[in-house]
Structure 1
Amino acid sequence: MRATKPGVVTVTLNAAIDQTLECPGFTAGAVNRVVAETRTPGGKGINVAAFLAGGSRPVTAAGFLGEDNVALFEALFRDRDIQDRCLRLPGSSRVNIKVVDRTSGAVTDLNLPGLRVPEEALEALGATLDALTEDHGCFVLSGSVPAGVPATIYATLTERLRAKGAVVAVDTSGEPLRHAVAAQPDFVKPNVHELGELLGRPLKTPGDVGRAARDLHASGIGMVVVSLGAEGALFVSHDGAWRALPPPVEVASTVGAGDALVAGVLAARLDGSDLETCARRGTAFAAGKLARVGPVPPTPERVAALVGAVRMHPLGNA
């Protein structure tokens, strides 16, 4: 998986503002007092762009943003030197509210509806991506699909971009993932639940997950990474199969950890690293992100310290 052109483009069809409310003793149906609030720009592709920014490759964000609440995204792009090629649509990007009760450890999610994307906006996005293939060799298609967009969108874009010689990574779920896999992107990153749903069978043991990852790789996917949450991730490609276990770390927020994993693996792979190195760096990058709220990457020094603490286990052939 080597890109012939330097730039990386992340495509976010359903961007979000992540609003976190700290509310000790939160109780449904009662008056609750919020003691702290944070708002950060998000959406899986936006997160990946933020994590890749500042590395050795120029990063561009594409996709859709709502005109009514675009300021947080524009500030992120300026601060992280991300080229902004997102198309503006009438209305607001969705807001994802997390109510965090640290006394009990409970987290309550309230996800608002997002933009409705008209057909002409999809055509404009396709034209934008075609133009970006002139100097960008890798495209990351990630996140949910908003209203008005067909579930085949990632498959369509994968075929379109690969025909132009681009490396394509996909991180989504459900029907969009099912269609995308049939188009054979170079890299996919489902979690365990998404992989089981995709293959239509329960994955109850590590062996089940390993066999499922190999089956997906054998179907024509160059690299398969299966995230296991706090238990790390499985990595399968033509040069081997590994399980990576992260070291214990302080956790401020798990939001975006999977996107940090994608960014870390992708950056290492595009630099020509072998699968074991990709697994180590991706796992360390994701672990380092956990101490930060929002799409803020860990420092290179923190990643370097964590790389050596990642425990690696080769997967057998069973």
Structure 2
Amino acid sequence: MSATVVTLTLNPALDQTVSLPALHCGAVNIASDVHVNAGGKGVNVASCLADWGVPVVAAGLLGRDNAAAFEQLFADKGIRDAFVRVPGNTRTNIKLVDRSRQCTTDINLPGISADEAALEKLQLLLDEQAENGRYFVLAGSLPAGLDQGCWAHFCRQLTALGARVVLDSSGNALQQALALPAAALPWLIKPNREELEQYLGRKLPQRDDIAAAARQLQAQGIAVVVVSLGADGALLCSADGCWHARALPLPQLHSSVGAGDALVAGLVAALSAHEQDWAEVLRLGMAFAAGKLEQIGPHLPDAANIRALAAAIQPQRLD
């Protein structure tokens, strides 16, 4: 049985996904369809975990003026709603899906602002949830006005309480979290190739370069480093070795939005069920990501579909 997972999203979003036969810049475009979903990286992770049957608590900051879509998602999927409401509207992110090129263009709008009182309330809630070995997924960007050391702060507090922190962020917020002392570092991180290159300040053109960079981060005290590589799949490094899994060819891309979040959800789903084979952990993560590509919104196909995708994924050990 899977243990309860807590996700934390400080900058959630309503994802408006607009599908187009082809996107023409500077011209009038006629959409074929549009979907609006409650999202944000941690919300997406929570949604996919719930689809797989993992008990999940979704926490963070949510604008009270347009919270209905989030509340409906949580109610529909049995996710415990632990979001702290703040004044204003949660941001909207516009996703333009170009069917002809099989790609997605993101337009992310400004989000809510947070005050110290809301953060203190959120900290108390997280402290109550923290248990030895429980997985906490800290995911996404930080809202305007929030100190870029916020993820580092939560990493320090939660690891001190015995939690296993999974961090999926980028830029300065990631840099500050990875500058913590070894004992306070996140247990697992999931940058993509570009985010890892930005953090290290150098290009990583080959798979061996990425694996070497992941091992470098491990040597600093991060137990597990997973790097998402888009069409090239993903790479996982732990103390037991490194594995690479190639992405599956899919007949049709419905939306790439949230595929990285689904990867995180799959990894955590395997880990929360006490899976100790790292190839199997990566396999389930990649199956979640592949399944998500066939969906609009933060949802997985049925479990039989995910198992079939997982069976087709063959992680390769690199060392």
In the TM superposition, residue 70 of structure 1 has moved relative to its aligned partner by 0.8
How far does the alpha carbon of each residue in 1:104-137 deviate from its partner, in whole angstroms, 9 at most, with x for none?
5564432211101112211111111112226992
1:279 matches 2:282:
yes
1:279-318 equivalent positions in 2, closer than 5 A: 279-316=282-319
In the superposition, relative to structure 1, how do residues 276 and 30 fare at CA in structure 2: closer, same or farther (>3 Å)?
closer
Alpha-carbon distance in structure 2 between the residues aligned to 1:105 and 1:290? 11
In the superposition, relative to structure 1, how do residues 134 and 214 fare at CA in structure 2: closer, same or farther (>3 Å)?
closer
Letter in 2 for 1:228: L
How far does the alpha carbon of each residue in 1:223-266 deviate from its partner, in whole angstroms, 9 at most, with x for none?
10000001110000012110011321232111111011111111
8 Å contact from structure 1 (residues 6, 135) kept in 2: no
- Give the secondary structure class of the aligned counterpart of 1:311: coil
How far does the alpha carbon of each residue in 1:54-75 deviate from its partner, in whole angstroms, 9 at most, with x for none?
4454200000111121111011
In the superposition, relative to structure 1, how do residues 270 and 108 fare at CA in structure 2: closer, same or farther (>3 Å)?
closer
TM-score, normalised with respect to structure 2: 0.92
Letter in 1 for 2:236: F
In the superposition, relative to structure 1, how do residues 17 and 206 fare at CA in structure 2: closer, same or farther (>3 Å)?
same
8 Å contact from structure 1 (residues 225, 234) kept in 2: yes
Alpha-carbon distance in structure 2 between the residues aligned to 1:104 and 1:261? 23
Letter in 1 for 2:268: L
8 Å contact from structure 1 (residues 7, 136) kept in 2: no
Which one of the candidate residues 53, 61, 77 is aligned to 2:58? 61
Which one of the candidate residues 217, 236, 258 is aligned to 1:256? 258
TM-score, normalised with respect to structure 1: 0.93
How far does the alpha carbon of each residue in 1:144-172 deviate from its partner, in whole angstroms, 9 at most, with x for none?
01111111111110110111111110000
RMSD: 1.8
177-186 or 236-245, which moves further after superposition? 177-186
Task: Could you tell me which runs of 5 or more consecutive residues in structure 1 were left unpaired when the two chains were aligned.
Answer: none
Matched with 2:235 is 234
1:124 matches 2:121:
yes
In the superposition, relative to structure 1, how do residues 287 and 55 fare at CA in structure 2: closer, same or farther (>3 Å)?
closer
- Give the secondary structure class of the aligned counterpart of 2:287: helix
8 Å contact from structure 1 (residues 246, 311) kept in 2: no
Matched with 1:35 is 32
Which one of the candidate residues 151, 155, 158 is aligned to 1:158? 155
Alpha-carbon distance in structure 1 between the residues aligned to 2:151 and 2:87? 23
Aligned residues: 312
268-277 or 255-264, which moves further after superposition? 268-277
8 Å contact from structure 1 (residues 48, 262) kept in 2: yes
Matched with 1:224 is 225
In the superposition, relative to structure 1, how do residues 212 and 106 fare at CA in structure 2: closer, same or farther (>3 Å)?
closer
1:140 matches 2:137:
yes
Task: Could you tell me which runs of 5 or more consecutive residues in structure 2 were left unpaired when the two chains were aligned.
Answer: none
